A and B are shown apart, each in its own frame.
Chain A
């Protein structure tokens, strides 16, 4: 039975992220009905519908389901985020766009302006912003709980991740970028949320004319939180330690890769202690919680109540603006282990 609070949604893009995350979250949620699956390749939509045993409509164009849905989840390859979201908004449909909101800042701004003119919700899929640990760290920083902020270090790497059906991730025209845009974007969103915009950036990556697989960025900040530095090291080609550490005057603070609900504090005065801090006394760890569902329900609540979603289009656009600035600072990340290149002689590259 469909209740008035339930929203009928279309999911545009029936690839890997929809199969593993958006569709299961939507089916689990009592706040939405999956009304339509849309994919430019109709076979993908049909396969997905069949795999989950659904009776929903399938279509190869969004326009074919307009009038039957209340909102759209855009989970297409990156380059299609803009045209698909633009089309949905033009038909008066709120959108939840998978990260990154677009591959170009100018396009992100266009979407935001369009949504604002029409009074529609535009949310961006940065699910980690719903983690209690992420919200708690911001609170601790705002309260100056840990003393003066000195630096942070983020390292994340895995060899492979989801398996995009279209292969959009290996081409600049469809992906828009490599490890920075697709993998580090989650951290950059959190970084903006915690620390604000950096004052200065230095950036290095291993792109040889394709897409970077490994990148390093160094940041300098000078704002209400003080003057401090940060470093990011992210790879899609190798497994790294997957750590995030904040150094402050009184504590070393860590949030582990799978630590969604708490932060770990190590007091400098008592280095033998590791304190696990939760947002409130009753909070218990819930590692199996589906944050895609939380994100989707936040989007629906924003539509129903008129409030802003947790990550709105304007905030999502800030990440893209920062990423464009970072790419402008690009320098080559040295790969000193390629000793064979000196011996064979190389036609491409230095």
Chain B
């Protein structure tokens, strides 16, 4: 078919919303590609073409892309899914004559605490130590290279995607209902939220464009709403009153920082019994280990003790804290920069489908349906 779209990662949160949009609107033919039948119930309620395709299976990727004009990559997963999987998608696109490729990236590529230049796409991505962000940035580079090599490609870079079926929204509502909402620096930073239906609309808008390819675009709601404003409005629409708790941003950042990797900690691993035991399966290492063991025991006892003390790790028990950084709800609030979608609006003519009131109403309707509220 002339304009058929292949949606990879179709059973995911964004992929399913995009497939609903394409099915109900009838705008374009598409095939929904999934890798796990167990999570496809939302998609399966529609009478659409759902096919199994693991992005790590190159020949299968090529097979399902045949006859498709465009590809939208919403797939997520392990490191290999992100890199080898994307390579398979790119190779498949080349071999099957795909004309357009839209890749979903993330504002995570600008790091947890981005510099102010990240307000626009001109800013330099600095993913920092975050492995996911580094992989997403590598993906972006692969996609832009594909564009230079002749397949019109673009990258949509959302902040925090929310909407019906979103775990984030469920948790936020639960926090509101239990009056446990924690705001970072009183919730004064921008949310960088994007409603999934607006994101699906941005994808459909981009697919229709002849210009503007070969770029990365931020996609967030155009109004830089703060976290306090967002929670306040959600609470109002849910009909609940909530007193917010607050925490300093510096404290959150401190807790989010990865523990320093020192050469001493590496040495501790190398000399640990478990590590040596595993390596001892190699005959030459077993011999080496035996020699090292004998030498160590030939040392004066005081020296042996000093080495042991140096390598021993003290046991640290932290005080219980109300702050649970496993919660994405808190982690996302440290970002001070608003990643503006101005370029997307200007170059691709994107306009949000749902306005601020509708976005919240959509969430509240879903929360009631899902019996959270």
Q: Would you call A164 and B37 a contact (CB within 8 A)? A: yes
| Nearest CB in chain B: distance from A168 CB, A | 8
Q: Would you call A209 and B44 a contact (CB within 8 A)? A: no
Interface size band for A: 35 or more
Over the window 124-167 of chain B, the binary record of Cβ atoms lying under 8 Å from chain A Cβ atoms (1 yes, 0 no) is 00000000000000000000000000000000000000001101
Give how many B residues have a beta carbon under 8 Å from the other chain's beta carbons. 40
| Nearest CB in chain A: distance from B373 CB, A | 12
Most buried by B among A206, A237, A336, A345: A237
Complex: A236 Cα to B36 Cα, angstroms:
14
Residues of the A chain whose Cβ atoms lie less than 8 Å from the Cβ of B40: 169-170
Q: Would you call B44 and A337 a contact (CB within 8 A)? A: no
Complex: A235 Cα to B37 Cα, angstroms:
15
Which residue of A is nearest B357, CB measured?
A339
Q: Would you call A167 and B24 a contact (CB within 8 A)? A: no
Q: Would you call A348 and B24 a contact (CB within 8 A)? A: yes
Over the window 1-43 of chain B, the binary record of Cβ atoms lying under 8 Å from chain A Cβ atoms (1 yes, 0 no) is 0000000000000000000110111110000000011111111
Complex: A348 Cα to B358 Cα, angstroms:
22
Q: Would you call A211 and B41 a contact (CB within 8 A)? A: yes
| Selected contact of B365 from candidates A155, A206, A336, A341, CB within 8 Å | A336
Over the window 317-339 of chain A, the binary record of Cβ atoms lying under 8 Å from chain B Cβ atoms (1 yes, 0 no) is 00000000000000000011111
Q: Would you call A340 and B197 a contact (CB within 8 A)? A: yes
Task: Confirm or deny: B50 has a beta carbon within 8 angstroms of a beta carbon on chain A.
Answer: yes
Q: Would you call A348 and B371 a contact (CB within 8 A)? A: no
Which residue of B is nearest A183, CB measured?
B41
Task: Confirm or deny: B353 has a beta carbon within 8 angstroms of a beta carbon on chain A.
Answer: yes
Q: Would you call B24 and A341 a contact (CB within 8 A)? A: yes
Q: Would you call B362 and A209 a contact (CB within 8 A)? A: no
Q: Would you call B201 and A339 a contact (CB within 8 A)? A: no
| Nearest CB in chain B: distance from A184 CB, A | 13
Q: Would you call B36 and A163 a contact (CB within 8 A)? A: yes
Complex: A291 Cα to B93 Cα, angstroms:
48
Complex: A236 Cα to B48 Cα, angstroms:
18
| Nearest CB in chain A: distance from B51 CB, A | 9
Task: Confirm or deny: A137 has a beta carbon within 8 angstroms of a beta carbon on chain B.
Answer: no
Task: Confirm or deny: A67 has a beta carbon within 8 angstroms of a beta carbon on chain B.
Answer: no
Residues of the A chain whose Cβ atoms lie less than 8 Å from the Cβ of B165: 159, 237-238
| Selected contact of B41 from candidates A237, A240, A344, A349, CB within 8 Å | A237
Q: Tell me whether A339 and B26 are in contact in the complex, defined as CB-CB below 8 angstroms, given that A159-B39, A208-B47 are known contacts.
A: no
Residues of the A chain whose Cβ atoms lie less than 8 Å from the Cβ of B365: 336-337, 339
Which residue of B is nearest A155, CB measured?
B371
| Selected contact of B45 from candidates A157, A210, A347, CB within 8 Å | A210
Q: Tell me whether A339 and B361 are in contact in the complex, defined as CB-CB below 8 angstroms, given that A239-B167, A349-B24 are known contacts.
A: yes
Instruction: Count A-B contacts at CB 8 Å.
Output: 120
Complex: A33 Cα to B115 Cα, angstroms:
65
Q: Would you call A213 and B42 a contact (CB within 8 A)? A: yes
Q: Would you call A211 and B371 a contact (CB within 8 A)? A: no
Q: Would you call B43 and A345 a contact (CB within 8 A)? A: no
Residues of the B chain whose Cβ atoms lie less than 8 Å from the Cβ of A163: 36-38
Q: Would you call B366 and A337 a contact (CB within 8 A)? A: yes
Task: Confirm or deny: B203 has a beta carbon within 8 angstroms of a beta carbon on chain A.
Answer: no
Residues of the B chain whose Cβ atoms lie less than 8 Å from the Cβ of A171: 44
Q: Would you call A340 and B47 a contact (CB within 8 A)? A: no
Q: Tell me whether A170 and B42 are in contact in the complex, defined as CB-CB below 8 angstroms, given that A238-B370, A239-B170, A343-B353 are known contacts.
A: no
Q: Would you call B362 and A207 a contact (CB within 8 A)? A: no
Task: Confirm or deny: A178 has a beta carbon within 8 angstroms of a beta carbon on chain B.
Answer: yes
| Selected contact of B38 from candidates A162, A178, A206, A340, CB within 8 Å | A162
Complex: A16 Cα to B36 Cα, angstroms:
12
| Nearest CB in chain A: distance from B164 CB, A | 5
Task: Confirm or deny: A346 has a beta carbon within 8 angstroms of a beta carbon on chain B.
Answer: yes
| Selected contact of A344 from candidates B38, B44, B353, B370, CB within 8 Å | B353
Task: Confirm or deny: A287 has a beta carbon within 8 angstroms of a beta carbon on chain B.
Answer: no
Complex: A115 Cα to B305 Cα, angstroms:
76
Complex: A167 Cα to B37 Cα, angstroms:
5
Complex: A213 Cα to B40 Cα, angstroms:
9
| Nearest CB in chain B: distance from A346 CB, A | 4
Which residue of A is nearest B367, CB measured?
A337
Complex: A244 Cα to B362 Cα, angstroms:
28
Task: Confirm or deny: B354 has a beta carbon within 8 angstroms of a beta carbon on chain A.
Answer: yes
Query: A-B pairs with the 5 shortest C-beta distances?
Result: A347-B26, A160-B39, A236-B41, A209-B47, A163-B38
B interface with A by C-beta (< 8 Å) = 20-21, 23-27, 36-48, 50, 52, 164-165, 167, 170, 197, 200-201, 353-354, 358, 361-363, 365-366, 369-371
